[in-house]
Structures are given as structure tokens and as C-alpha cells.
């Protein structure tokens, strides 16, 4: 019986008025809003039930829109609701999480986790998210979708290591579950944030055929689709100001996501998204950032004047596509790599620690097929030193692979094997750069904040300033310090395309991670539309 219902004609919400003749609008029209998997561009479909005047419940025909196909007599609304629920339950599911293993007592903020389907069939492609309601005024505060870089690092990284309300207590791992404590400078104090695991295969998101689903553009389409579906399921957030937030590699796809949302709004896609702007932290943009690593390394006194001069002369400023016959340049680059070999490129002031988790991902993955290694071994061959920033990643990996944690987060059993903080294999980089997209977005009046931890050598501030300058917008608020507790938190400048650039002084690649007070002050001011 229910399977027959699945074949019925359904109506797109925007065509409803035209298609539903007045004569069939009778006593009661029940509209059941469900996101529909068959219409990639039409996220909202209405199932329409029509009661006929004067007919008893028993005899009334349930008709669906214009089809007028006679269904079954005597189906109760309850049964229909049940159908809707069961048929679409895999499409969007969400759960409140009131406590988490490793955290003492109930969570003092609202956490929801869930899945949104972005594929053709129910269990095809499922995007996992963590949603944290603003701890201030969720009705009024903005809503932000946060995407961590990689590509393929779980947005749990943003939540637990940078801007979310929880962090790992750094203590020696002894086999028992790592502990979580509150982060006082959580951005969720002023903003509701959805942390989304994308591309598919990242974190707890999964798909039947991953290889076909991992590219920049796929990520962009999935994020856009995810967001509209999520908003259909959370209509109370439709009127909130919406911002896109991302960092690191996500500087490539995030502007494209903003552009797709914007284009979707212009095309009239439902629901309309109250898009206001975007913020990016140490974002990859041109894919040629390495060219500015050299002047950065020189400015930071990591290489000698002579080597810098020689690099400039021999490589002529081109360090990305080095001619393999240019031996002088290659020799200089070897010397450069030697100088930087024990520098933590993500934060040059921090300890340098070997991170073997990536190598181990692959090794463990292969071995686990044959030996069924326990997940608790996780993704680190050797445990990092506790004084290393990556020790937190180690703890997080132990935590996320714990059975009780997965249960608390409502992770569907058997959907993914081991949780890895980053899953970077098989990713097609099909957006060559995001500069052109910033050019496009600059004409649309969106606000943006581009911030740089100024001691990041991976995406050095010099490269970020260079592409912002190349947008050719005039300066409306010129270079000046911005302060936290009367001290310089960094420097900032705002352009006439509503783009604010800010440095976070003495911070690294993930700026709020290393300078949480400064990061929080910067975000709070910008999101409240006041000058830094
Ligand atoms: C591990 O350490 C925690 C505190 O960090 C302690 O509460 C727990 O009892 C220890 N577990 C074992 C097995 O030693
Ligand atoms: C997965 O997708 C790739 C790329 O589209 C395709 O070549 C491959 O056959 C697919 N694998 C399966 C098992 O469907
Ligand atoms: C910029 O916008 C134009 C017009 O909408 C579009 O054709 C073009 O593809 C966009 N550029 C990029 C890089 O997306
Ligand atoms: C900025 O100005 C330069 C010099 O006039 C020009 O070559 C470049 O195309 C401009 N960039 C953009 C994005 O319009």
C-alpha cells in the first residue's frame, strides 16, 4: 500500500497555486512539507491531501494534487503521516544531544546532531552535522555554516579545536575516554553554528560510492543542497542572518558555496536564504600561496638574506611550477626546505612535532581489512608528545572512535569504519582558484571578513593581502590596530566591497585556536557589524 504512494505526482511549492484549481480546495487541505530527493534543484515539495466537502472520513478520497488519482478509502491521516515519516526518515534525521561521554554533567548549550541526505536514494549520500544553538539569543543571532579545510577534515576540528563550545582536556591518555571541558571563547556565544562534515567521506558523512562524490564542485553542490534542506527542517532559522564560515583549504570551495546560494536565491530556489556574507580564516585562494612562503620565511628570519636573494634571482618568484631543468632554482629550494624542515609551518612559533597520522590512516586502513585492528588504536602510529598541539587531535580520535560517544552522537551503526579527523584521499581539485569568485561576490554587496594568523607559513598573510589588493577596491577604513584588553590583537583594513582584512597577531593557521580571546573579540565585533 505504502509503496504505491511513492509513485504519486507531487507538487513543487512554487507551482502549487497554479496547479491546484479552486474547485478542489475544500474544507481542509493538509500540506505536508517534505524535502524531496528527486528534485535536486527544487528542495521543497508539498504533498497535498484534499478532503471533500461533506464526505465522512471513511468515504473521503485522499487525492494528491492534480493527479486526482483515487487512492485508498479510509486511510487515516495518521497512517499517511507514518508513511511520510518512514519514507523520508533517512532523508533528514536529527537528535538532541543532552550529554556527552567525557563531559561532566548535562551540556550547558543546545547540541543537535543529524544527517541530511543529498543523494538519489535514501541511504545513498548522507551528510552529518553538529548544530549548536547560539547561547545568547538564537531567535535573533546569525546562523553560520562552518566548513573545515583539508580537503576532508571533519568540521569537528572547528568545533573542538577552534571555535566551538567544547575542547579536549589535555592530559595523558591512559586508555580511558578523553575528557571534554568548556571553551569560554566559543563563537556559539553570539551565533548559531552548523558544523558540517563535507566532502562526503569526511568525519561521519558517508556515501555508497565515495570516489564519485569527492571534488570541489561536488562539495559545493552538496553543501548548498544540505543547507536548503536543513533550513526546511529548521524553519525557525529562515529569517536569521546567514553567514558562511570556513578556513584553510575551504577557502577554495566556500566562496563558491556562497555564490551558489546567491545564484539560487536569484533563481527563486526555496527556501530563500538570508545570505549576508562570509568569513574565511587563512584561506587558500590562488593555490599559488607557496610563492609568498619565501618572502614570508625571509621576513621572519627563517632563511638568510643571501638565500632569499638567490631564490629570487634563480627562480624568478616562481616556486609552484618550478622548471625541472632549472638546477640553480632547485638547489635553492632544497636549501630552503632544509631551513624549514623543523619549523611547524602551521604556526612557526609553536613546537615542531612529527605527525604520522596521515601515513597511518592508510596503513591502518589496509591492515584493518585483514587484521581487524581495534579502532582504539586509531590513526596515530606513535602517540604524539603531550606538549604538541596535535596531541589534541590524538585525543579527539580516541574519543570519536569510542562506542559510547558514537551512541551519544546518534551515529548510524556500520556507516563508517574508523573515524579519522581528516580523510584526504581521492579528492578532485576542480576549482582552480577562488579569486574569480571573490571578484563576482564583491559586486553583490555581501560583507566579508578575511583573517590571517600572521605566523602561519602555510597560507601566509602576504599571499592573502596580495589577492585582496588585486580585487582593486578602494580602502574605506585604513590599516590600523584593533585592540583586545587595551593590547594590539592585530591589524585591520576595510575595503569598499565590504571586505575586512584582519591579522591576528602572533597566531597560526587556525587563528582562534592559538589566540582564543582575540579570535572571539574579532568575530563578535564583525558579526555584530561594528568595526574591529
Ligand atoms: C586515567 O586517567 C583519568 C584521569 O586523567 C582517571 O580518572 C582514570 O581513572 C585513569 N584510568 C586508568 C585506567 O588508569
Ligand atoms: C563509483 O564511481 C566511479 C566514478 O563515477 C565509477 O567509475 C565506479 O564504477 C563506481 N563504483 C561503483 C561500485 O559503482
Ligand atoms: C562569475 O559570475 C558569472 C556570472 O554569473 C559566471 O558566469 C561565472 O562563472 C562566475 N565565475 C566563477 C569563477 O564562478
Ligand atoms: C585590477 O587592476 C589591474 C590594473 O589596472 C588590472 O590588470 C586587473 O585586471 C584588475 N583586477 C580586477 C579583478 O578587475
| pLDDT per residue as tens digits for the range 105-131 | 999 999 999 999 997 766 689 999 999
Around ligand 2, the residues with Cβ closer than 6 Å are: 209, 211-212
Around ligand 1, the residues with Cβ closer than 6 Å are: 171, 174-176
Q: Which atom of ligand 2 is nearest to the CA of 209?
A: 1
Give the distance (Å) from ligand 2 centre to CA of residue 208. 10
Ligand 4 binding pocket includes 471 (Cβ within 6 Å): yes
Can you say whether the dihedral through the CA atoms of 39, 40, 41, 47 is positive or negative? positive
3-state secondary structure of 404: helix
Which of 200, 201, 207, 211 is the pocket-test mutation for ligand 2 (most atoms within 8 Å of CB)?
211
Contact yes or no for 525/451 (Cβ under 8 A)? no
Give the distance (Å) from ligand 1 centre to CA of residue 173. 8
N residues, the chain = 532
Judged against a pLDDT cut of 90, whether residue 425 lies above it is answered with no
- Give the ligand whose atoms come closest to the C-alpha of residue 214: 2
Q: Which atom of ligand 3 is nearest to the CA of 440?
A: 1
Q: Which atom of ligand 4 is nearest to the CA of 435?
A: 13
What distance in Å separates the CA atoms of residue 155 and residue 144, rounded to the nearest whole number?
Answer: 13
Ligand 4 binding pocket includes 439 (Cβ within 6 Å): yes
Which of 220, 252, 436, 439 is the pocket-test mutation for ligand 3 (most atoms within 8 Å of CB)?
436
Taking residue 338's Cβ as centre, other Cβ atoms within 10 Å add up to 11
Show the cell assigned to 273: 536564504
The shares of helix, strand and coil residues in the chain, as percent rounded to the nearest 5, are 35, 20, 45
Per-residue pLDDT, averaged over 343-358, amounts to 85
Give the distance (Å) from ligand 4 centre to CA of residue 470. 6
Q: Which residues are catalytic?
A: 248, 456, 509
The pLDDT, as a whole number, for residue 379 is 55
Protein residue closest via CA to atom 11 of ligand 2: 209
Which of 173, 174, 398 is the pocket-test mutation for ligand 1 (most atoms within 8 Å of CB)?
174
Ligand 4 binding pocket includes 436 (Cβ within 6 Å): no
What distance in Å separates the CA atoms of residue 450 and residue 502, rounded to the nearest whole number?
Answer: 6
Summary mean pLDDT of the chain: 82
- Give the ligand whose atoms come closest to the C-alpha of residue 220: 3
The pLDDT, as a whole number, for residue 71 is 37
E runs forming strands in 57-124:
63-64, 92-97, 111-117
Contact yes or no for 488/481 (Cβ under 8 A)? yes
Show the cell assigned to 88: 523520508
Give the distance (Å) from ligand 2 centre to CA of residue 202. 18
Contact yes or no for 141/134 (Cβ under 8 A)? yes
Judged against a pLDDT cut of 90, whether residue 135 lies above it is answered with yes
Judged against a pLDDT cut of 50, whether residue 163 lies above it is answered with yes
Protein residue closest via CA to atom 2 of ligand 2: 212
Which of 440, 441, 442, 446 is the pocket-test mutation for ligand 3 (most atoms within 8 Å of CB)?
440
Of the pLDDT bands very low, low, confident and very high (cuts 50, 70, 90), residue 382 is confident
The pLDDT, as a whole number, for residue 209 is 87
Give the distance (Å) from ligand 2 centre to CA of residue 40. 20
Instruction: Give pLDDT tens digits for 448-482.
Output: 999 999 999 999 999 999 999 999 999 999 999 99
What distance in Å separates the CA atoms of residue 216 and residue 201, rounded to the nearest whole number?
Answer: 13
What distance in Å separates the CA atoms of residue 482 and residue 491, rounded to the nearest whole number?
Answer: 6
Protein residue closest via CA to atom 13 of ligand 2: 209
Protein residue closest via CA to atom 1 of ligand 3: 440
Judged against a pLDDT cut of 60, whether residue 60 lies above it is answered with no
Taking residue 134's Cβ as centre, other Cβ atoms within 10 Å add up to 22
Distance from CA of residue 113 to its chain's centroid? 14
Give the distance (Å) from ligand 4 centre to CA of residue 257. 24
Give the distance (Å) from ligand 4 centre to CA of residue 437. 14
Protein residue closest via CA to atom 11 of ligand 1: 176
The pLDDT, as a whole number, for residue 503 is 98
Instruction: Give pLDDT tens digits for 19-46.
Output: 333 233 233 333 333 334 333 333 333 3
Q: Which atom of ligand 1 is nearest to the CA of 175?
A: 13
Instruction: Give pLDDT tens digits for 278-334.
Output: 999 999 999 999 899 999 999 999 999 999 999 999 999 888 888 899 999 999 999
Give the distance (Å) from ligand 4 centre to CA of residue 469. 10
* CA angle at 260 for the pair 257 and 263, rounded to the nearest 5°: 150
Per-residue pLDDT, averaged over 373-402, amounts to 77
The pLDDT, as a whole number, for residue 373 is 30
Protein residue closest via CA to atom 5 of ligand 2: 212
Per-residue pLDDT, averaged over 402-429, amounts to 93
| Three state DSSP letters for 197-223 | CCCCCCCCCEECCCHHHCEHHHHHHHH
Amino acid at each position: 500500500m505504502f509503496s504505491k504512494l511513492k509513485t504519486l505526482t507531487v507538487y513543487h511549492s512554487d507551482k502549487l497555486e497554479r496547479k491546484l484549481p479552486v474547485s478542489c480546495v475544500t474544507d481542509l487541505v493538509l500540506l505536508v512539507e517534505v524535502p524531496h530527493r528527486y528534485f535536486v534543484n527544487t528542495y521543497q515539495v508539498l504533498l497535498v491531501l484534499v478532503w471533500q466537502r461533506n464526505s465522512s472520513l471513511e468515504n473521503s478520497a485522499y487525492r494528491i494534487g492534480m493527479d486526482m488519482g483515487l487512492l485508498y478509502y479510509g486511510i487515516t491521516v495518521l497512517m499517511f503521516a507514518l508513511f511520510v515519516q518512514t519514507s523520508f526518515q533517512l532523508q533528514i534525521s536529527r537528535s538532541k544531544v543532552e550529554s556527552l561521554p567525557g563531559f561532566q554533567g548535562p551540556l550547558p548549550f543546545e547540541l543537535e546532531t543529524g544527517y541530511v541526505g543529498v543523494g538519489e536514494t535514501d541511504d545513498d549520500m548522507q551528510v552529518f552535522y553538529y548544530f549548536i544553538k547560539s547561547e545568547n539569543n538564537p531567535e535573533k543571532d546569525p546562523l553560520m555554516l562552518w566548513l573545515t579545510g583539508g580537503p576532508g577534515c571533519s568540521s569537528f576540528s572547528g568545533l573542538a579545536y577552534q571555535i566551538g563550545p567544547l575542547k579536549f582536556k589535555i592530559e595523558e591518555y591512559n586508555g580511558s575516554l578523553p575528557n571534554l571541558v568548556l571553551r569560554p571563547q566559543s563563537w556559539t556565544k553570539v551565533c548559531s553554528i552548523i558544523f558540517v562534515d563535507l566532502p562526503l567521506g569526511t568525519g561521519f558523512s558517508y556515501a555508497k560510492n565515495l570516489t564519485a562524490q569527492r571534488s570541489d564542485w561536488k562539495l559545493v553542490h552538496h553543501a548548498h543542497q544540505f543547507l536548503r534542506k536543513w533550513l526546511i527542517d529548521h524553519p525557525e532559522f529562515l529569517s536569521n542572518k546567514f553567514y558562511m564560515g570556513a578556513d584553510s583549504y575551504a577557502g577554495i570551495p566556500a566562496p563558491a558555496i556562497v555564490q551558489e546560494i546567491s545564484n539560487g536565491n536569484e533563481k527563486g530556489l526555496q527556501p530563500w536564504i538570508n545570505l549576508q556574507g562570509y568569513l574565511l580564516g587563512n584561506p587558500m585562494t590562488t593555490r599559488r600561496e607557496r610563492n609568498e612562503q619565501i618572502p614570508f620565511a625571509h621576513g621572519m628570519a627563517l632563511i638568510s638574506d643571501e638565500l632569499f636573494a638567490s631564490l629570487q634571482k634563480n627562480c624568478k618568484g616562481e616556486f609552484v611550477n618550478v622548471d625541472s631543468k632549472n638546477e640553480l632554482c632547485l638547489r635553492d629550494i632544497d636549501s630552503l626546505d632544509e631551513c624549514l624542515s623543523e619549523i611547524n609551518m602551521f604556526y612557526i612559533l609553536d613546537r615542531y612535532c612529527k605527525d604520522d597520522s596521515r601515513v597511518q590512516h592508510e596503513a591502518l586502513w589496509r591492515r584493518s581489512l585483514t587484521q581487524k585492528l581495534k579502532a582504539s588504536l586509531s590513526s596515530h602510529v606513535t602517540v604524539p608528545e603531550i606538549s604538541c598541539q596535535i596531541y589534541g587531535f590524538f585525543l579527539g580520535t580516541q574519543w570519536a572512535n569510542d562506542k559510547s560517544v558514537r551512541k551519544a552522537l546518534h551515529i548510524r551503526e556500520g556507516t563508517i569504519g574508523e573515524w579519522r579527523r581528516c580523510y584526504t584521499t581521492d579528492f578532485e581539485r576542480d576549482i582552480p582558484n577562488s579569486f574569480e569568485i571573490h571578484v563576482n561576490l564583491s559586486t553583490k554587496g555581501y560583507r566579508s571578513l578575511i583573517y590571517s594568523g600572521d605566523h602561519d607559513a602555510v597560507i601566509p598573510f602576504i599571499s592573502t593581502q596580495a589577492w585582496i589588493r588585486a580585487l582593486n577596491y578602494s580602502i574605506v577604513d585604513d590599516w590600523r590596530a584593533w585592540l583586545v584588553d587595551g593590547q594590539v590583537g592585530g591589524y585591520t583594513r576595510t575595503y569598499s566591497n565590504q571586505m575586512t582584512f584582519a591579522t591576528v597577531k602572533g597566531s597560526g593557521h587556525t587563528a582562534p585556536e592559538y589566540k582564543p580571546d582575540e579570535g572571539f573579540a574579532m568575530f563578535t565585533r564583525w558579526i555584530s557589524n561594528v568595526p574591529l
